[in-house]
Amino acid sequence: MSYPARIADSGGLAPGRQRFSHRQEEVLDTVEAVFRREGLRGVRMGDLATEANCSRSTLYEIAPGKEQLLLLVLDRMMRRISLRGATAIDQADTNMDRIRAMLASGALDFADLGPRFLDGVRSYAPARMLLDHWIAVCRDTLEDLIDDAIAEREIRPVNGRVVAEVMFASVLRFTDPDFTRTSRVTTADALSGIVDLLLDGLRPR
């Protein structure tokens, strides 16, 4: 099974909650933009309806409240990010290139979510759990890539699970809102440097 197909089967929400009309998808696109700009706490359903140029009843047909809308938006965004990373993996030639492609693509997309959106996600426990689910999906994919690289002797024998955890912890640090607020290094430069450092350290000695 290709990596995009595997990601498509790994959704964090029940499949039935992913069936939306074209108009509902447009509304969710607008809701996503508002959450990314404003976060969760300062947004009301009326604000979202105004921004989306729809009635509140249209929003309530999609989800019963703004927190549930956040879950839907987050799941769509993480699925989109994960599928882009999976497509980058499938297009790479070597296992090392696949690891780099996944980390670079996914991390930059994740960083682009913005601090207000991520703060909103982390302030709402179900959203945190959903984010953790998607991180686990991507981490498991990374572990598979590392194990494949070990088998092909592109990197030295290591514990794939431990290395995947370290890589994700490093990447998540550089996409954390606190980092983006306080660091003098751009997220893109930081991610490029940490990916190079991690992969160079795994090459056979």
Q: Which residue ranges form the domains of the chain, and what is each CATH number?
A: 3-202 (1.10.357.10)
Indicate the pTM of the whole model: 0.83
Kindly give, in sequence order, each residue whose CB lies less than 8 Å from that of residue 44, ignoring residues fewer than 6 positions away: 66
pLDDT in tens, 64-91: 999 999 999 999 998 888 888 888 888 8
pLDDT in tens, 5-41: 566 566 666 444 557 889 999 999 999 999 999 999 8
For residue 170, the model assigns a pLDDT of: 80
